[in-house]
Copies of this chain bind each other. A is one copy, B any other.
Amino acid sequence: MRITVVQFNPLIGHVEANARRIIDQSIACRDRGIDLVVFPELALCGYPPLDLLESEHLVELCRLWASNIAQQTNGIAVIFGLPLKNPLSFGKSLLNGACRTGDGQVQQLWAKSLLPDYDVFDEGRYFAPAPPHYNQLWTHAGVRIAVSICEDLWHHSLSNLYERDPLDDVLYTQADWILNISASPYHMGKEALRHSVLSEVSARLRKPLLYVNTCGAQAELIFDGGSGCYDANGLKAASLPCFESMHADVDWSLGAWSPGKDWKIHDQADSDSEHELNLLRSALVLGIRDFFSKQNLNKAVIGLSGGIDSALVTLLAAEALGSDRVTAILLPSPYSSAHSVDDSLALADRLGIQCIRIPIHSAFFAHMESLEQAFGRPLQDLTEQNLQSRIRCALLMAAANEWGAVLLNTTNKSEMSVGYGTLYGDTSGALSVLGDLLKTRVYRLARHINKSGPLIPEHIIEKAPSAELKPGQADSDDLPPYDVLDAILELYVEKGLAQDRLMNLGFDEHLIQKVIRMVDACEFKRFQSPPVLRVTAKAFGRGRVMPLVGKLVY
């Protein structure tokens, strides 16, 4: 049985475009003598469709296009994910489904049993679980295949989050192999986690497994592909590259997988830190690229401060979009150091991007004068600092307006955590590239990238971080050293540890209280922040929903 796996990159809501690509790819496969082509979870409408699922029109479009795909791909079996109507008279009206076409018709339906409802996932909002006995084996030329969807394989790894394991169904004991179609997003460490889960499942059930994952970014969520095939001992026969929207063939014959040339043969995920940093870089680049391509955005604008964050964002944007689609803007103030300008120019030069300079002096003085006249006294220090940041935002957005470009945000996760940034100032932008990278990780990634060629001037990496909003300012005036701060933030924000547990870990009590107070106090800033490319298991955004008014009081 010859199978093609497609690491599909759908457009959310654009059913026709997704369907036409499914048709084209399936016809090409049929012409090459392939028996089955597999697309991922909800490939037809894109994942996550969110409240578009509340539109009956979307569901009807999916039904019509599924028929259309069946008709146009007559002669090859095609499996893809789509929302289905729930046949039961109660519960949510939809199923997170999959269908198989062939011989001109939709011939079989499946649905997901376990609906994740945590972190960035809210499938319980839209879907009912697969009704009893809804999922059946598919027997093709004597081979019995059990089809499952994403989370359905994850019960054992989620400490009884769900009432029952759908893999206990007799379906899975009768199958020759198991197919899983997924839309499972990347975070650091996910490759190894996924490998251990899939490996455990195939070993426990003693069934070979073929795993097909989405690849592409949808605003915050970056789907990494990394499809794989496992033998009945849970050993990974082979996997497809991460972050490449591609298709590849694999044969099922004599009870074993024979992967084609695009598959990488290995038996364990590569997990050293250089490998993780490579994946992180690819994730961010794909995140930027798809954000632009899927919205037909053309150019990116970045305010280049001379610091590490904006330097890294500029580099990643140039890598994602090409140097000709990125413009850096220098916005020096009376407090900017000479090295900030020089370092920025050096970076722009190395990246081959356009760089323009718009000094903020005169706008800053005009604001100050109007305000001091209105108030009859000099402004406070903090007001002056915020003003500079907001003027830069206005100038950057003006440049974006002029060029039909989009501003990229350069805030890192440490700053976002403690609110070290000005709302409507440096917190602005269409997409936050580094909002899920703590400052120490920003440095690690910058150093990693520089190993393969010194793209970022060393001085940018080495100098002490400063917002340069007043003379001689340094981040360390207001914040704990980043290595200490990030260690606390990782435990409090990413791992969700409470104050008392942090104290038991040996951190200074007052420091912990200060950091927690800072994090909790700036929920209002994060509420209005741009979408953040998610690269950890707990990013700011829809995966961390905190009350705006009210916080945990110890």
Q: Which residues of A line the B interface, CB within 8 A?
A: 11-17, 46, 48-52, 54-58, 89-92, 117-118, 122, 124-125, 160-164, 217-220, 290-291, 294-295, 356-360, 362-363, 365-367, 369-371, 373-375, 379-380, 382-383, 386-387, 390-391, 393-395, 397-399, 401-402, 423-424, 428, 430, 496, 498-500, 524, 527-531, 542, 544-554
* Whole-angstrom distance between the Cβ of A60 and the nearest chain B Cβ: 9
**Inter-subunit contact B552/A55 (CB<8 Å):** yes
Copies per complex?
A: 2
**Bound Cα distance A161, B89 (Å):** 9
**Bound Cα distance A179, B471 (Å):** 64
> In the complex, what residues of B have CB within 8 A of residue A89's CB?
160
Q: A387-B394, A524-B430, A546-B50 are in contact. Are A161 and B370 (CB under 8 A)?
A: no
**Inter-subunit contact B546/A57 (CB<8 Å):** no
**Inter-subunit contact B295/A549 (CB<8 Å):** yes
> In the complex, what residues of B have CB within 8 A of residue A162's CB?
90-91
**Closest B residue by C-beta to A552:** B13
User: Which of A89, A360, A550 gathers the greatest number of chain B CB atoms within 10 Å?
Assistant: A550
**Bound Cα distance A292, B291 (Å):** 37
> In the complex, what residues of B have CB within 8 A of residue A553's CB?
11, 13-17
**Bound Cα distance A391, B424 (Å):** 11
> In the complex, what residues of B have CB within 8 A of residue A551's CB?
12-14, 52
> In the complex, what residues of B have CB within 8 A of residue A544's CB?
51
**Inter-subunit contact B387/A371 (CB<8 Å):** no
**Bound Cα distance A153, B531 (Å):** 38
**Bound Cα distance A256, B176 (Å):** 66
Given A57-B500, A90-B162, A290-B549, 16 additional A-B pairs, CB 8 A: A50-B546, A50-B547, A52-B547, A57-B498, A92-B161, A219-B549, A220-B548, A363-B367, A367-B391, A367-B394, A371-B402, A379-B402, A382-B401, A383-B401, A387-B398, A390-B394
**Inter-subunit contact B367/A58 (CB<8 Å):** no
**Bound Cα distance A12, B218 (Å):** 32
**Inter-subunit contact A369/B358 (CB<8 Å):** no
Tell which of B49, B357, B365, B397 touches A547, judged by Cβ atoms closer than 8 Å: B49
* Whole-angstrom distance between the Cβ of A329 and the nearest chain B Cβ: 8
> In the complex, what residues of B have CB within 8 A of residue A549's CB?
12, 217-219, 290-291, 294-295
CB-based closest 10 A-B pairs: A12-B550, A366-B366, A57-B498, A390-B394, A124-B124, A219-B548, A383-B401, A90-B160, A363-B366, A13-B552
